[in-house]
Amino acid sequence: MIAAYAARFAPDDPVSALEVGERPEPEARQHWTTVDVRAASLNHHDLWSLRGVGLREQQLPMILGTDAAGVTPDGREVVVHGVVDGHGVGPDEPRTLLSERYPGTLAERVAVPTWNLVDKPAELSWHEAACLPTAWLTAYRMLFVVGGATPGSRVLVQGAGGGVATAAVVLGAAAGVEVIVTGRDPERRERALRLGAAAAVEPGARVPRVDIVLETVGRATWSHSMRSVKAGGAIVVAGLTTGDPSPAELTRVFFHEVRVLGVTMGRKEDLEHLLAFVARTGVRPPVDSVHRLADARTAMACLASGEHVGKVVVEVV
């Protein structure tokens, strides 16, 4: 089958380490199902894998991708939950994501634990469904499950344009949350406003104290996040694209009783709730561009450029 995979590690030029070509068919395993992939979407996790973060040389070549929507052998249309955490692999297996211990979704077919399959709502296209299992699931869990946002909450989202940030703006607005977003690019700030943000400001700009900060940027925005959250509020962290913050500003954490909470994607039930939310509200994930699987390197370059707004999708035709 054709797949896009990490052939080597290239910390300074991750896209150059991606190759597209023939790979073995998924291995048949008890309690697993092989899905014919219709569409997959890219995430920064893929770029980190190409840089060598989270993988070892002996695991190469590794098919990338954590997101997919497709069809099972019995014709069921499904969305793949990319977190493998014991179901189908044994209770003592460490929690992992597809493309870390097991081949990922950027392929014509992917094998996953049968438990990880969630019905695709008929209201969603393949492209839309494939956008949800990582970035949108992460945003959903950050906002509502861990962050506890409710209608009327004020939330600061750092970094307009990224997949998680875009999802948080759209989901938050649909749920009656006051979303403030930061972004370097005026066009991205304007787009965030069109997607439902209450305000869009330059990085570091002073904002009203917020109940929750959604942080995926790290070093470049951490101090601003700390200054912006109210006493007793929460900073929910799901990434650090600019690296670990230094200093951590722990004095502010304990003096103002700020809660710092971590999120990695979400649980299967979170994905089920997210799918129901978007199906019933009419909310849809913005898609920046769609690429053929054969052009996966072009798609990855689009992601690496940082110029995309919304999700980069790879379709399998």
Among 262, 277, 296, the domain boundary falls at 262
Q: Are residues 171 and 228 in the same domain?
A: yes
Q: Is residue 269 part of a domain?
A: no
Q: How many distinct structural domains can be found in the chain?
A: 2
Buried b / exposed e along 7-25 (16+ C-beta atoms within 10 A):
bebeeeebbebbebeebee
Which domain range does residue 141 map to?
135-262
**Distance between CA atoms of residues 279 and 301, nearest Å:** 31
Q: What are phi and psi of 48, to 5 degrees?
A: -65, -40
Please work out, in degrees rounded to the nearest 5, the angle formed at the alpha carbon of residue 113 by the alpha carbons of 111 and 282.
Answer: 90
Q: State the chain's mean pLDDT as an integer.
A: 94
Element (H, E) at 75: none
| Residue 34 Cα to chain centre, angstroms | 22
Q: Which residues contact 114 (CB under 8 A, 6 or more apart)?
A: 31, 32, 33, 88
- Please determine, for residue 145, whether its predicted confidence score (pLDDT) is greater than 90: yes
Q: Are residues 126 and 221 in the same domain?
A: no
**pLDDT tens-place string over residues 33-58:** 999 999 999 998 999 999 999 999 99
Q: Are residues 254 and 158 in the same domain?
A: yes
Q: Is residue 278 part of a domain?
A: no
**pLDDT tens-place string over residues 155-177:** 999 988 778 899 999 999 999 99
**pLDDT tens-place string over residues 279-290:** 999 999 989 899
Q: Are residues 24 and 119 in the same domain?
A: yes
Percent share of the chain, pLDDT over 70: 99
Q: Are residues 38 and 110 in the same domain?
A: yes
Q: Are residues 39 and 123 in the same domain?
A: yes
